[in-house]
Amino acid sequence: MGASSETRNGAVVRTIVVPGGILLGIALGAVGMLRSKPAFAFSGAALMFVESPLLLWSFWPLTVLLGIAFLLDGIRSRREPRCQREMITLNLR
């Protein structure tokens, strides 16, 4: 802990919640992207954006970029039905 003004309980909670929230956001976003579920993609994006300020001096650009990717995929999958996206993919082969 060092000379930090943070309590032990606060440090433990922050150490557990921040990485766990990022992993949950990545999992939700990935499921949303792979299964064409916009709700999961939006949830993953929201979690990534919420966690970003907590990582201000470390790898926050990664969480912001991944959150944007999940958000854009959620918007795209809302506009195009899943069967239409699969037909486009099959026609490209």
Residue 71: inside a domain: yes
Domains contained in the chain, number: 1
Residue 2: inside a domain: no
The reported pLDDT for the residue numbered 52 is 78
The reported pLDDT for the residue numbered 82 is 58
pLDDT band at 75 (very low <50, low <70, confident <90, very high): confident
Residue 1: inside a domain: no
Residue 25: inside a domain: yes
Residue 42: inside a domain: yes
The reported pLDDT for the residue numbered 3 is 55
pLDDT higher than threshold 80 for residue 88: no
**Start-to-end Cα distance in the chain:** 56
Pick left, alpha or beta for residue 80 (phi over 0 → left; psi -120 to 50 → alpha; otherwise beta): beta
Residue 3: inside a domain: no
Question: What is the per-residue pLDDT across 13-59, written as a single tens digit (0 to 9) for each?
Answer: 778 877 888 888 889 888 888 887 888 888 888 888 888 777 777 77
* Domain boundaries, position 19: 8-92
pLDDT band at 87 (very low <50, low <70, confident <90, very high): low
Residue 76: inside a domain: yes
